[in-house]
Amino acid sequence: MYNSQYCQLRHLKEQNAILCRWKAPCKGYDYRNPFKFAMDKIKKLQISTWITDTTNGFESEEADTKWLLEEFVPSMISSNIEKVIFIIANDSPLIYEIKTQQVALSRYFKVELVDNLDNIG
């Protein structure tokens, strides 16, 4: 579906989901482009679940976090997305950031944290 040196997006048909798997830290266009591509597919395919694999995740630049909250999240809210899933280990250095996002996103979506793709309900 989408593959760069930083991110891979896959359409998981059985789960009606898009899986966003980060491969390496990035910022700016390299960070935002996968989200823009994904939103186009979310709308076209009426995707209901967004999955982010944070195994190789990284702390985002402030400008990219702001863009995510002001641009991408509102577009998710107005889409068919009903569920957001984060794949994250309990000892991940990103656990605090992801749990903060879980609280914020829970106002709009069902949000789950799982330790691997096989544990998605």
The 3-state secondary structure of 40-104, one letter per residue: HHHHHHCCCEEEEECCCCCCCCHHHHHHHHHHHHHHHHCCCCCEEEEECCCCCCCHHHHHHHHHH
Q: Report the predicted TM-score, pTM, of the whole model to 2 decimal places.
A: 0.93
| Ordered per-residue pLDDT tens for the chain, 121 residues | 999 999 999 999 999 999 999 999 999 999 999 999 999 999 999 999 999 999 988 888 999 989 998 999 999 999 999 999 999 998 999 999 899 889 989 999 999 999 988 877 6
